[in-house]
Amino acid sequence: AQSVTQLDSHVSVSEGTPVLLRCNYSSSYSPSLFWYVQHPNKGLQLLLKYTSAATLVKGINGFEAEFKKSETSFHLTKPSAHMSDAAEYFCVVTFTSGTYKYIFGTGTRLKVLA
């Protein structure tokens, strides 16, 4: 069965320190992977996507993620957190075969401390 797991429901970092949000997926097919961000009372905005091109993907606002097939992971990173990064982040997987469902992780709430 296809699934996606976000390992941390909450992450707290200090402003200016690195951010790591973890995501693992399970799939029988070749996945396409995304990270979305949701600020409070807002819709979801795409941060970046991986669709079988380069394994290191750069997104908006300094975020990037690396697809590691051997580890079935797609962790999101940023070298230096900013206060405006405080939000909820969703890892999303869909597949190049079969049903066209986007499967969302349960989300990681990022808190940035001054």
Positions in 52-71 near another protein (CB under 8 A): 52-53
Contact (CB, 8 A) for 22 and 75? yes
User: With binding defined as CB under 8 A, does residue 84 bind another protein?
Assistant: no
- Dist CA 78 CA 93 (whole Å): 20
Query: Is residue 74 a contact point for another protein (CB under 8 A)?
Result: no
Stretch that binds another protein, among 11-19, 20-28, 34-42, 69-77 (CB under 8 A): 34-42
26 interacts with another protein by CB under 8 A: no
Q: Which two tokens stand for residue 87?
A: 């939000």
Asked if 101 touches another protein (CB under 8 A), the answer is yes
Per CB under 8 A, 46 contacts another protein: yes
Calpha distance 27→34 (Å, rounded) = 15
Among 40, 70, 99, 114, binds another protein (CB under 8 A): 99
**Residue 100 makes contact with another protein by CB under 8 A:** yes
**How far apart are the C-alpha atoms of 85 and 71, rounded to whole Å?**
26
| Pairing label, strands 103-104, 44-50 | unpaired
